[in-house]
Amino acid sequence: MPGFTPEVRTACPHCGEPFTLRVDTDGADAAYVEDCPVCCAPIEVAVRWPLDGGGPAVELRQADA
């Protein structure tokens, strides 16, 4: 779905603060590193899109600094 950037409410694996993650993958499974908007620590983001057309599932992990 080009041009569609869903937002997912999640929480930082470092500081535990909730934030809204913008999933910017053009509908493809992806993994990338994004800094936490609260504590600025690097977060490894893994995005998986379900086959039923629902919203993306995201998994966050502490990335190596």
When asked if residue 36 is in the footprint of Zn ion (CB under 5 A), the reply is yes
Tokens of 37: 């908007």
* Of 49 and 60, CB closest to Zn ion: 60
Q: Count the neighbouring beta carbons within 10 Å of the beta carbon of residue 23.
A: 20
Binding residue (CB under 5 A) for Zn ion from 8, 11, 30, 38: 38
Q: Are 18 and 10 in contact (CB under 8 A)?
A: yes
Q: Does 12 bind Zn ion (CB under 5 A)?
A: yes
Binding site for Zn ion (CB under 5 A): 12, 14-15, 36, 38-39
